[in-house]
Structure 1
Amino acid sequence: MSIEGLGFGYRERASYASDPRSSRGRLVVEIESPTRTVFQRDRDRIIHSTAFRRLKHKTQVFIAHEDDHFRTRLTHTIEVAQIARALARSMFLDEDLAEAIALVHDFGHTPFGHTGEDALDAKMAEFGGFDHNAQSLRIVTKLERRYAEFDGLNLCWETLEGLVKHNGPLIGPHAASQPVPLAVLEYNRRNDLELDRFASLEAQCAAIADDIAYNAHDIDDGLRSGLLSLDRLADVAIIGDILRSVREKYPALDDTRTTHEIVRRQITLMVEDVIRQSQANIAALKPQTIRDVHEAGRKIVDFSPEMREAEKALKKYLYANLYFHESVVRVRKSAERIVAELFDAYFADVGNMPEGWREGREGASEAQRARHVADFLAGMTDTYAVREYRRLFDRTPELA
């Protein structure tokens, strides 16, 4: 095949963007593709992974069986990737890297969303805890088993750095106070991800795209569920102004179309705010290279101060009226029990685990056995967790 004249994605980028031609490479050296950049190849590996397919049956906010139209982890991930690409394109960054990080960022989530994570973290408290971001790293560096020459997906340094640090540095003066997960520290000893520095702008695009996506689609799903109402949203930051504008222009519009109009306007408003603020930050900091981004000492891709305050107020409203609504909490308690009891059953007897997960556990320490169980449990979809619960306990758990 002649590759003359093919487009490889080596288009014009800002000098401070991530450049696939200058990638720091993969932990296991491979011959690179003649038709794809390293970031495009990472994106493709992520999409073809088992962990990516599992996202279609993992909870975002509402258990999937409650309504066919609620977001799952997969649809959320796709929405995040679309927004991340748009942000990266507007700043002349590498769209493929931003997309890859967005697509992989939720790989480590348990069944039943954050509820499952909380339950698993409690069970793992004396064995290093459980963190979904660290679990994503374990999946792409160890648990996926697709290739003849290595475990994991052997993603390039820039994709792994973005996965681990998209929310900011993990150590040093700019880090959040929580301890660094053990899985991250172990991998970092093999492949230094510079945990004390800020990630690329592409990773920052993926991180803020996550905020934009779930703020918007949780409003949509909340209205669909009946736990939120348009009238009650009239006084909520960001949403109230949009609702008034929609009703003024379309006074006879039905609630379904009004909801979609609110969501699309909300996304547009937040995306455009991020672009304006990020352009201002770039102009003020004047980064010339990717190293300048790593050492900037602050996030560059960000909301304006006004939008950040409005976004915090919106999150506060959603926590009070949606995420901790009594009907959601009731389902959460059932989901917590499923995860906790499954963990106990597997931890007590590895023979309770399916074939392929029992083997090679002889002589394992308690900590190793617990992590093995956590790896298995975290990979489950909601539906598989319910099936396993039914198999082990001969009863179907109630999730309502």
Structure 2
Amino acid sequence: MLSPESAGTVRATLPVIAGAIQEITARFYDTMFADNPELLRDLFNRGNQANGEQRVALAGSIAAFATALVERPGEPPATMLSRIANKHASLGVTEDQYAVVHKYLFAAIGEVLGGAVTPEVARAWDEVYWLMAGTLIGLERDLYREARRGWTRATVVERRDETPDVAAFLLRPDTPMSFRPGQYVSVRVTLPDGARQIRQYSLSNSPERDHWRITVKRVRGEGAPEGEVSAWLHERVLAGDVLTVSAPFGDLTLPEGDGPLLLASAGIGLTPMLSMLGHLAATGSDRRVVVVHADRSPDAHVHREELTELVAALPGATLHRWYENPDPGHTGHTGLADLSAIELPEGLVACLCGPLPFMRAVRAQLAERGVPASGIHYEVFGPDLWIAAA
């Protein structure tokens, strides 16, 4: 918790800081990367820096944490912090890097706000930063301890081209590691310019299999930077090649217990749901599961037959599909996902994954149906812009 003196200062200055936070984070990243180019080359996602998404996400997370400190003392935004910690652990972020971030972030605050940053203001926001950093360091320390391993090698056992833009890679890590359904791994590659870039990909098969599978959508440069790592994987990686991967991380995992579930996905967001369904099928679960998936077309629907087979193997599961551009004679719904006509069991827990507009729409529909926010969990592929827009 913030000290009483700092809490009052943060509360009074939060509107000013929040109003300038995106300018602050832009200045912060520019200066830090100018002095430490290896961080952009080997740790941060260059694509997310180029399109500005990482800056927006950082601004949103700082503002959300500070707001929680002054409005809900003793109730930190646990879900947000867990999501950030898992992402940091998957990248291999170290404790000493928080001091580097602090140096450049507070220099940027001073440059943007000038004389408004009095010693009292600086002390209060320094307390905010280290409370957030300390919490994340503790969470990440626990995650590293649980994983017990850092980077490892994984051999590509098989490559399957699912669609022109999506390929599935079956991996066998040198060091056997278990994972929870829904988690992801990081893949680190060395690009032609020497940069070592890292991306996260959900494990799209069940933990009961003797291999890992990642399903990678190639990110095309349509109004945004080309996906450097996804393009590298699509163009270069074949069976027999070896990748460098992290231990599994991620906090969108199959909810425990035997209560009802809603698994809602769109596009490549299906991948963590396949892992959850695969585990339920492998363990003979009769859990009530409502599966919702939306896609552009049946041809674009990755692992479509596998999804149908997994749902059919679960006696308590039902499948509802929407296609924006359906084929003639298709089964399912046309257009965007609409949960209004679906029977939802009482007390369900929802897991969402897909583009932000899809997840926001589904969450709003669930709220209208009386599902509490605490019962809705989600995964974002990339920076969490949901926080920034909250």
TM-score under structure 2 length normalisation: 0.29
Larger fraction in strand: 2
Greater relative contact order, per chain length (Cα 8 Å cut-off, separation 6+) = 1
